[in-house]
Homo-oligomer: A and B are copies of this chain.
Amino acid sequence: MIGHGVTARIQDVAAQAGVSTATVSRVLSGVDNVSEALTERVWKAVTDLDYRPNRVARRLRRPGREMWALIVPDVENRFFTSVARGVEEVANEYDITVFIGNTDYDPDRLKRYLSTALAEQVAGIILAPSSPTDDVSDVLASQIPIVTVDQTLTSRSLTTVMTDHYEGGRMAGQHLRDRGYERIGVIAGPQHSPEWNTRLEGLQSSISPESIVATERGDNRVGGGGTAMGRLLDTHPDLEAVFVTNNLMTIGALREIDLRALRVPEDVYVVGYDLNSQEWTRAVPVSTVNQDPRRIGEVAARTLIDSGGLPQERHTILLEPHLEESIAL
């Protein structure tokens, strides 16, 4: 039985092994050379006492390691949970704990979570911004490495891991052109966000301008997609196809189409974004430009590892999207 009856401390291990705490620490960290005999005794004591180093104490002494903050606007959105999954995979490899903050697209909550991240002395921050104007000045001042995911920040020079949305838009446009659609509506994200505009530019690069009969803006949520789709159908009853730049809005759009008793793809052909057919209750023949959010998380995490704890200069890593045609069961 150990000291407080709770957990063994490094002292207990040292005593049991008949060495100093420094030696125990060295054996465990594996960085300095320790004689074979002592190493063995230390490991035996560690095992016997079921010793687990206190990560809090370790982090205090040696800050900026073993913990990351992942901050996302909506934990309930599968895109972000998949990013989290990817981040976690890498974090696990390096024995890093990751805490997740959910901002709910609220700047105050972002501020709080960034502050918490600093107060927790994290080794790095992975931020999925709510908007390109998110304020990260405190983080920059603190010198903690930060990687942005899914979106760049306009005012700051940060490393970003994201999908090549221009290419995504281009793919969607080419697909629609190949299928011969000439009256296309677009449902895009908020105007102020350059990412959505990038998707639009990609779209415009592959179809003629007059094919795009209208562009509606939504809030990237299901409701916003439905409302936008409604406006599109109201103002352009002769619409042939629609391109929606976000997963939840695509779902909203599909529901609105269904509500009006229109059929996909006969009445309106839909190209969505990030649709995961795994989650559908019924086949809907809709094409989709898909990102690989897990991979985004992984790459962001590895970027943090590679940064070696130092802030990086700006660097955008673009991952390729994939077009999935007419997903059906």
Q: Which residues of B lie under 8 Å from residue A63 when comparing CB positions?
A: 56
Given contacts A54-B119, A56-B120, contact A280 B281 (CB under 8 A): yes
Tell me which residues across on chain B come within 8 A of A55, comparing CB atoms. 116, 119-121
Q: Which residues of B contact A54 (CB under 8 A)?
A: 60, 119, 121
Q: Which of A35-43, A202-210, A282-290, A305-313 lies at the interface?
A: A282-290
A74-82, A124-132, A152-160: which lies at the interface? A74-82
Contact with A280, one of B52, B57, B255 (Cβ below 8 angstroms): B255
> How long is the Cα–Cα vector from A143 to B259 in the complex, in angstroms?
54
- Cα distance A56–B54 when bound, in Å? 11
Q: How many copies make up the complex?
A: 2
Contacts of A281 in B (CB 8 A): 251, 254-255, 258, 275, 280-282, 284, 286
Pairwise interchain contact A100-B98, C-beta atoms closer than 8 A: yes
Q: Is A217 located at the chain interface by the 8 A CB criterion?
A: no
Closest to A99 in B: B99
Given A55-B116, A84-B102, A255-B283, 15 further pairs, Cβ under 8 A: A52-B115, A54-B119, A54-B121, A56-B56, A56-B120, A75-B84, A76-B78, A76-B82, A84-B100, A85-B102, A254-B281, A258-B329, A275-B281, A281-B282, A282-B282
